[in-house]
């Protein structure tokens, strides 16, 4: 396994964890200079995509502090803007589902709409074509003709017995229907087979759905991810040979696929080796066996993060991290501007502070008179 500097490892012991705090700052390690350097950061920073599917992405983020990794995770969950249903106007609902329950279910349906198409929704704002997208949901259930009297399957007995998210139809508002990108890629639901409610003959539902742009800190329905997690890369160091009679037991002490067996150097006997450390769940079961004491050292690499992100459907998984980084950069810019203003205040701010100070002096200069 790749040799890792001791300073980069969180060490795992049978009953405790040590070296959990980061030490990459100036003056901690003799002979090492950890002064911030952009070129060094660029050299050490690495992002490797391990797996990409239509709904999930697994990637390794290497060379950053835990605070940066956690900030990206929190931004993914709560601060990347998406579009979701905010207001439901129910014109008719004769199903067994209450209007309030139906509205709550509709709000959680993920919508495949690029958030850049709308302005961010502001409290007490008026709905316009610039900040609102409208969908119509109008479905009625009828009995199918010429169906066998022995049939019991509702989907064969009735037309529209189940209302799906695909029944939500986009209704252009204002100029939306004339914009080329809206016409070529119209707003739609991310998953067309989500069950909304069930109907029976004579029942119907008719509602108008207004969608706006916001972020997950307002409500979970705007969160673009179902899960966004990370863990530290496990590190396994086999420091002494394991006898052949104990090798199978040693392999079974770890998660499947973590430790393998192969022929030793020179083709003499068998030896164990680290096959895939990332599969390890760090159960530390190997420490339960006294015969393996001193054979292996366990740890985690403190600046190697294994991210697993599942998109809720609004944004493709490969676009989630760039969106989070864009939000992160905007937040850094705000903090940087505030610090700059604090260190080098503008003339207007200085004038305001001077006037405030003069006002305080005038108030303090008054005389106390007993009447």
pLDDT on residue 370:
43
pLDDT on residue 54:
94
DSSP code of residue 235: E
Q: Name the least confident of 66-75, 249-258, 266-275.
A: 266-275
pLDDT at 194 > cutoff 80: yes
The pTM of the whole model exceeds 0.75 = yes
Spatial CB neighbours of 23, under 8 Å, sequence gap ≥ 6: 7, 29
pLDDT at 351 > cutoff 70: no
Q: Provide mean pLDDT across the span 96-112.
A: 95
pLDDT on residue 313:
92
pLDDT at 269 > cutoff 90: no
- Binning pLDDT at 50, 70 and 90, where does residue 30 land? confident
Contact 32, 258 (CB under 8 A): no
- Binning pLDDT at 50, 70 and 90, where does residue 32 land? confident
Q: Provide mean pLDDT across the span 199-207.
A: 96
Contact 294, 239 (CB under 8 A): yes
The percent of residues in the chain predicted with pLDDT above 90, rounded, is 72
Spatial CB neighbours of 259, under 8 Å, sequence gap ≥ 6: 236, 250, 251, 253, 272, 273, 274, 275
Angle, CA 177 vertex, CA 175 and CA 183 arms, to 5°: 135
Measure the CA–CA gap between 60 and 98, rounded to whole angstroms.
45
pLDDT at 365 > cutoff 90: no
pLDDT on residue 231:
95
pLDDT at 367 > cutoff 60: no
- Per DSSP, helices labelled H in 303-343 are 317-343
Q: Provide mean pLDDT across the span 217-225.
A: 95
Domain ranges for the chain? 9-78+226-240+294-310, 82-222
Angle, CA 191 vertex, CA 125 and CA 162 arms, to 5°: 100
pLDDT on residue 349:
61
Specify the higher pLDDT residue, 59 or 368. Answer: 59
Q: Name the least confident of 187-196, 257-266, 274-283.
A: 257-266
pLDDT on residue 353:
64
From residue 286, alpha-carbon distances to 137, 140, 244, 274, 283 in Å are 58, 62, 16, 14, 8
Q: Provide mean pLDDT across the span 81-93.
A: 96
Q: Name the least confident of 29-33, 102-106, 226-230, 234-238.
A: 29-33
DSSP code of residue 204: E
DSSP 115-136: GGGSPBP-TTPPP-TTT-EEEE
Measure the CA–CA gap between 371 and 366, rounded to whole angstroms.
15
Q: Provide mean pLDDT across the span 147-157.
A: 90
> Phi and psi for 112 in degrees, rounded to 5?
-90, 80
What are the structure tokens assigned to 57, written together? 């992405």
- Domain 82-222 CATH class label: mainly beta
pLDDT at 327 > cutoff 70: yes
Q: Name the least confident of 28-32, 104-108, 265-269, 326-330.
A: 28-32
Residue that is written with structure tokens 């050292």 in the block: 297
pLDDT on residue 124:
85
- Assign 195 to helix, strand or coil: strand
- Binning pLDDT at 50, 70 and 90, where does residue 285 land? very high
9-78+226-240+294-310 fold:
Gyrase A; domain 2 (3.30.1360)
Q: Provide mean pLDDT across the span 309-316.
A: 94
Measure the CA–CA gap between 75 and 225, rounded to whole angstroms.
10
Measure the CA–CA gap between 111 and 212, rounded to whole angstroms.
11
> Phi and psi for 258 in degrees, rounded to 5?
-80, -50
pLDDT at 56 > cutoff 90: yes
Specify the higher pLDDT residue, 356 or 309. Answer: 309
pLDDT at 348 > cutoff 80: no
What are the structure tokens assigned to 121, written together? 């929704």
pLDDT on residue 360:
56
Q: What is the mean pLDDT of the chain?
A: 89
Spatial CB neighbours of 367, under 8 Å, sequence gap ≥ 6: none
What are the structure tokens assigned to 45, written together? 């920073």
pLDDT at 368 > cutoff 70: no
Q: Name the least confident of 154-158, 254-258, 265-269, 322-326.
A: 265-269
């Amino acid at each position: 396994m790749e040799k890792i500097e001791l300073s980069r490892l969180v060490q795992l012991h049978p009953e405790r964890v040590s070296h959990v705090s980061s030490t990459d700052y100036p003056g901690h390690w003799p002979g090492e200079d950890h002064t911030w350097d952009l070129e060094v950061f660029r050299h050490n920073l690495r992002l490797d995509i391990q797996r990409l599917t239509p709904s999930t992405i697994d990637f390794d983020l290497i060379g950053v502090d835990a605070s940066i990794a956690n900030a990206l995770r929190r931004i993914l969950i709560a601060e990347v803007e998406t579009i979701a249903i905010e207001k439901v106007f129910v014109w008719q609902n004769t199903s067994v589902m209450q209007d309030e329950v139906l509205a709550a279910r509709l709000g959680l349906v993920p919508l495949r709409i690029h958030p850049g198409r709308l302005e961010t929704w502001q409290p007490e704002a008026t709905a316009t074509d610039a900040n609102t997208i409208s969908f119509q949901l109008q479905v009625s259930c009828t009995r199918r003709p010429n169906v066998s009297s022995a049939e019991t399957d509702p989907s064969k007995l009735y037309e529209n017995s189940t209302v799906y998210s695909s029944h939500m139809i986009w209704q252009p508002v204002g100029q939306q229907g004339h914009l080329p990108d809206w016409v070529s890629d119209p707003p739609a639901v991310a998953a067309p087979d989500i069950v909304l409610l069930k109907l029976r003959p004579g029942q119907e539902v008719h509602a108008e759905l207004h969608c706006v742009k916001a972020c997950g800190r307002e409500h979970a329905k705007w969160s673009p991810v179902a899960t966004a997690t990370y863990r530290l890369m496990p590190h396994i160091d086999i420091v002494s040979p394991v006898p052949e009679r104990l090798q199978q037991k040693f392999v079974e002490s770890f998660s499947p696929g973590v430790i393998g067996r192969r022929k030793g150097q020179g083709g003499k006997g068998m030896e164990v080796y680290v096959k895939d450390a990332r599969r390890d769940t760090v159960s530390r079961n190997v420490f339960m066996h006294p015969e393996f004491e001193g054979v292996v050292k366990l740890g985690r690499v403190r600046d190697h993060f294994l991210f697993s992100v599942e998109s809720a459907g609004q944004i493709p998984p490969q676009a989630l991290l760039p969106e989070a980084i864009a939000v992160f950069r905007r937040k850094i810019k705000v903090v940087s501007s505030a610090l700059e203003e604090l260190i080098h205040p503008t003339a207007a701010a200085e004038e305001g502070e001077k006037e405030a100070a003069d006002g305080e002096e005038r108030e303090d200069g008054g005389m106390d008179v007993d009447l």
